[in-house]
């Protein structure tokens, strides 16, 4: 009988300690290195771009194959409160709310990201993340695409 009580006591301790000790299970945001975003719901688009990004180069425009890679310290930050903050050499260029609207796109419909740089309205489509590079494009003909990598 005493042996049976000891076994129940030990089993009880094991059960109590296994439920009593909780590990910190903070979920870190997932970051996709390859994901098409123009055809995704808005919450998926926003979750994947929310970070600080460094502009590496622009491509396209009237000269569709031209590349402008003269960006050294141009940072784009997308915040959880739906803002875009852009800095160049630590000088603030843009601190604007982002307005999202659903628009027709050559591949169907997508969400258009609109914000202001001063008084100039900018309209971009979030195309996706390809090989760790976030790609946006202007909404219009002769579009420029912007290629950014995660900033440290």
Residue 17 is assigned to a structural domain of this protein:
no
Q: Residue 125's domain spans which residues?
A: 35-150
Nearest-CA neighbor of 58 among 45, 31, 76, 46?
Answer: 76
State yes or no: pLDDT of 20 exceeds 80: no
> CB neighbours (10 Å) of residue 32?
13
Categorize the per-residue pLDDT at 3 as very low, low, confident or very high, splitting at 50, 70 and 90: low
Residue 96 is assigned to a structural domain of this protein:
yes
State yes or no: pLDDT of 28 exceeds 90: no
Residue 14 is assigned to a structural domain of this protein:
no
DSSP H or E segment with residue 128: strand 120-130
Residue 104 is assigned to a structural domain of this protein:
yes
Structural domain count of the chain: 1
> 3-state secondary structure string, 110-121?
EEEEEEEECCEE
Confidence at residue 105, expressed as pLDDT on a 0 to 100 scale: 80
- Pick the residue with more confidence: 9 or 110? 110
Whether the Cβ atoms of residue 71 and residue 56 lie closer than 8 Å to each other:
yes
Question: What CATH number did the domain enclosing 143 receive?
Answer: 2.40.128
Cα 57 to Cα 66: distance, rounded to the nearest angstrom: 10
Residue 52 is assigned to a structural domain of this protein:
yes
pTM: 0.76
């Amino acid at each position: 009988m005493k042996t049976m009580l000891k076994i129940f006591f030990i089993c009880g301790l094991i059960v109590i300690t296994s439920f009593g000790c909780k590990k910190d299970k903070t979920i870190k945001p997932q970051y996709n290195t390859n994901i098409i975003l123009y055809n995704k719901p808005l919450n998926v688009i926003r979750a994947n771009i929310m970070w600080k990004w460094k502009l590496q180069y622009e491509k396209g425009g009237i000269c569709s194959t031209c590349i402008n890679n003269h960006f050294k310290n141009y940072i784009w930050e997308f915040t959880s409160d739906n803002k875009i903050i852009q800095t160049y050499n630590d000088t603030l260029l843009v601190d604007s709310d982002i307005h999202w609207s659903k628009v027709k796109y050559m591949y169907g419909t997508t969400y258009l990201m609109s914000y202001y740089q001063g008084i100039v309205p900018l309209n971009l489509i979030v195309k996706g993340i390809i090989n760790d590079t976030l790609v946006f494009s202007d909404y219009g003909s002769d579009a420029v695409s912007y290629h950014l990598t995660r900033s440290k």
